[in-house]
Chains A and B, each alone.
Chain A
Amino acid sequence: MKIKPMRVLLYVVLVIVSLMTLYPFLWMIAASFMPMADIVGGNMQLISPNMSLDNYRFILNVNNHFPRWFLNSVIVSVVGTLTNVFLNTMAGYALSRIEFKGRNQLYYALLALIMVPSQVLLVPNFLLINSLGMLDSYAALIVPAMVNIGYIFLMRQFFVNFPSECEEAAYIDGLGRMACFFRICMPLARTAIATQAIFIFMGFWNEFTRPMLYLRTMSLFTLPLGLQTFQSRDAGEMWNQIMAAATLTVMPIVVMYFVFNRYFMMGVRMDGDK
């Protein structure tokens, strides 16, 4: 068999890129099981005979904010994702399927608003949230992010391309608009909704800037903010404990990634194997 040098080169590139991607994660996981002595002083093996769950025990029992932070992240991400899924889908549906006065104007208004760079609005939004009395609460994280114009447009596009026969049949059977939307349209859109939900959940779970600005009370922190607080206030150079906390933060999304891989690939349109 002839070995093509070009193909060998392709594999070399891929293996290097994959290792560069994986190594930081492997080091994170390895260090999270090791005593401090094993991760300093140059002996950087991924496996050590001294591996234990001590670091996890420390962050879960001794410095015991993490269980609460984990819970906060779950609450904010789940509630935020649910509101987004319903509101974005309803909005996208109305923009494509319901004929009413002002629809086009609304569409262009949303199109203009989506162009405003998000970091520009940190200062006014802080003041708005403060005057609405939402500072230092879950609401500060959920309410301003309750809808997402990008996903509204995604759902609009879905319904534009979607045949309307099912709905028409439902109307003839006497179903109202609401019943039709919740019982016919949403179930039919479940793939698009699942894709949307996964990326929105990931956004809420990983968000750092807004929790950092809006939350003051330690017991309300979400994981990314908790992790950074733990490193800057308590752990200092205890990288093994920090890596255990980082692993705890990253793992739920990685597990989700492998379980719902199909929807991730759809979301980024990578499933080209038609």
Chain B
Amino acid sequence: MTRKTREMVQGWGFLLPSVVVSGIFLGIATVFVIYLSFHNVNLITGNNVFIGLGNWERALADPMLHTAIRNTLTFSAVVVPAQTLLSLIVAAVLNSKINFKKTFRTVVFLPTLTSSSALTMIFMFLFNIRGPVNAVLLGAGVLEPGGNINFLQSTAWMLPLIMIMNIWSTFPMYMTFYLASLQELPKSLYEAAEIDGAGEVRKFLSITVPYLKPITTYVLLTGVIGTLQMFDQAFILTGGDGGPANAGLTITLLIYRMAFGPVNAMGYAAMIAIALMVFILTLSFIINRLNKEERLY
């Protein structure tokens, strides 16, 4: 065997398991979901009937899908700016000259370790009608005695509750991205600004913020992609059905209900999934493009 053939066999051999697994569960799966989106899928008989754009027509007239889209976009519009701002502020504070830096860093990272399931349980306990949050609000006189809020069954509170949970559990990860970036910021920039008499706030706005622009793009993009696909927390909090008046129904939760619920509309679910993918990829493309164009100047 020549050296070239040997390297060929070794190369493909080393990569074979990865190629097979990603080929099936990412590659074939992607082609499959596109195929499904044009069909009416019958799981029991295994007969898939081609219906062209039938699933898309169904989507236009489906009020539940519109609710899910509205909920998901509202969710992203609140959570992404909140988590980005919070993570930036905490990272900037952690990066300044303070003591116990390591302790704070270790503590703040904790929510990232928690499974969505345990995390949602903790919040459901905290916010249950006789739980600690109600107790605190009663104690502070915000609520009248006996006026406990039933957060877990409330149409108005369902989405805000998922938002709070999501911000609480995701901002530490983004904070670490910022922190890593900040630690590479040359100290000389700050020193030069100090000589010019700049204060902490001025330094933050004129040096730190512009320096962090590329990483902010990344954080925003990851945040948008993550929030548009939010599933676990909404599923667990609402028991899988979207909650009262579908107040906690997200797009991915609707995909789940359509595919695996009693309606048994897998083709329709696949079509919503495709639409979501196209939306996410287009958004990523635009954000990346905008970022690149700005860097030219």
Instruction: Let me know if A44 and B132 touch, CB within 8 A.
Output: yes
Contacts of B30 in A (CB 8 A): 113, 116, 120-121, 124
A133 to B25, CA, bound (A): 14
Other-chain residue from B27, B107, B255, B277 in contact with A21 (beta carbon distance below 8 A): B107
A123 CB to closest chain B CB (Å) equals: 5
Which of A106, A120, A223 has the largest count of B CB atoms less than 10 A from its CB?
A120
Contacts of B49 in A (CB 8 A): none
Do A117 and B225 contact each other (CB < 8 Å), given the known contacts A40-B131, A42-B138, A110-B22? yes
A269 to B184, CA, bound (A): 11
Instruction: Let me know if B98 and A10 touch, CB within 8 A.
Output: yes
A40 to B135, CA, bound (A): 8
Do A208 and B232 contact each other (CB < 8 Å), given the known contacts A44-B136, A100-B10, A228-B117? yes
Which of B25, B131, B232 has the largest count of A CB atoms less than 10 A from its CB?
B25
Instruction: Let me know if B10 and A123 touch, CB within 8 A.
Output: no
B200 at the A/B interface (Cβ < 8 Å)?
yes
Instruction: Let me know if A246 and B121 touch, CB within 8 A.
Output: yes
Instruction: Let me know if B106 and A205 touch, CB within 8 A.
Output: no
B33 at the A/B interface (Cβ < 8 Å)?
yes
A27 to B125, CA, bound (A): 9
Binary contact readout A196-215 vs B (1 if CB under 8 angstroms, 0 otherwise): 00000010011111001100
Contacts of B98 in A (CB 8 A): 7, 10-11, 14
B15 CB to closest chain A CB (Å) equals: 5
Contacts of B32 in A (CB 8 A): 124, 127-128
Within 8 A of B (CB), among A200-245: 202, 205-209, 212-213, 223-225, 227-228, 231-232, 237, 239, 242-243, 245
A209 to B235, CA, bound (A): 9
Other-chain residue from A39, A116, A146 in contact with B21 (beta carbon distance below 8 A): A146
A190 at the A/B interface (Cβ < 8 Å)?
no
B273 at the A/B interface (Cβ < 8 Å)?
yes
A207 to B269, CA, bound (A): 22
A253 at the A/B interface (Cβ < 8 Å)?
yes
A248 CB to closest chain B CB (Å) equals: 9
Instruction: Let me know if B90 and A13 touch, CB within 8 A.
Output: yes
Contacts of A121 in B (CB 8 A): 25-26, 29-30, 33, 273
A40 to B29, CA, bound (A): 48
Do A242 and B110 contact each other (CB < 8 Å), given the known contacts A41-B130, A113-B26, A232-B239? no
Instruction: Let me know if A227 and B19 touch, CB within 8 A.
Output: no
A138 CB to closest chain B CB (Å) equals: 16
B88 at the A/B interface (Cβ < 8 Å)?
no
A17 at the A/B interface (Cβ < 8 Å)?
yes
Instruction: Let me know if A18 and B107 touch, CB within 8 A.
Output: yes
A10 to B125, CA, bound (A): 31
B6 CB to closest chain A CB (Å) equals: 8
B207 at the A/B interface (Cβ < 8 Å)?
no
Contacts of B125 in A (CB 8 A): 27-28, 31, 39, 239, 242-243
Binary contact readout A130-155 vs B (1 if CB under 8 angstroms, 0 otherwise): 00000000000001101101001000
The residue on B at minimum CB distance from A143 is: B21
The residue on A at minimum CB distance from B95 is: A272
A94 at the A/B interface (Cβ < 8 Å)?
yes
Instruction: Let me know if A272 and B180 touch, CB within 8 A.
Output: yes
Q: For chains A and B in complex, what number of residue pairs have CB atoms within 8 angstroms?
A: 264
A126 at the A/B interface (Cβ < 8 Å)?
yes
B59 at the A/B interface (Cβ < 8 Å)?
no
B220 at the A/B interface (Cβ < 8 Å)?
no
Contacts of B273 in A (CB 8 A): 119-123
Instruction: Let me know if B128 and A239 touch, CB within 8 A.
Output: yes
A202 to B27, CA, bound (A): 25
Binary contact readout B78-121 vs A (1 if CB under 8 angstroms, 0 otherwise): 00000000000110011010100000111111110111111011
B197 CB to closest chain A CB (Å) equals: 15
Other-chain residue from B15, B89, B93 in contact with A95 (beta carbon distance below 8 A): B15
A91 to B16, CA, bound (A): 8
The residue on B at minimum CB distance from A258 is: B106
B5 CB to closest chain A CB (Å) equals: 9
A270 to B104, CA, bound (A): 13
A124 to B184, CA, bound (A): 42
Which of B33, B124, B184, B228 has the largest count of A CB atoms less than 10 A from its CB?
B33
A12 CB to closest chain B CB (Å) equals: 10
A152 to B15, CA, bound (A): 10
A25 at the A/B interface (Cβ < 8 Å)?
yes
B60 CB to closest chain A CB (Å) equals: 20
A113 to B27, CA, bound (A): 7
The residue on B at minimum CB distance from A237 is: B128
Other-chain residue from B121, B183, B232 in contact with A272 (beta carbon distance below 8 A): B183
Contacts of A245 in B (CB 8 A): 121
Instruction: Let me know if A268 and B173 touch, CB within 8 A.
Output: yes
Other-chain residue from B7, B14, B105 in contact with A270 (beta carbon distance below 8 A): B105
A20 CB to closest chain B CB (Å) equals: 7
Top 5 A-B residue pairs of the complex, sorted by shortest distance between their CB atoms: A272-B183, A100-B11, A206-B115, A224-B117, A94-B14
**Contact sample, A vs B, 6 pairs, CB 8 Å cutoff:** A6-B200, A14-B104, A20-B168, A123-B259, A152-B18, A250-B118
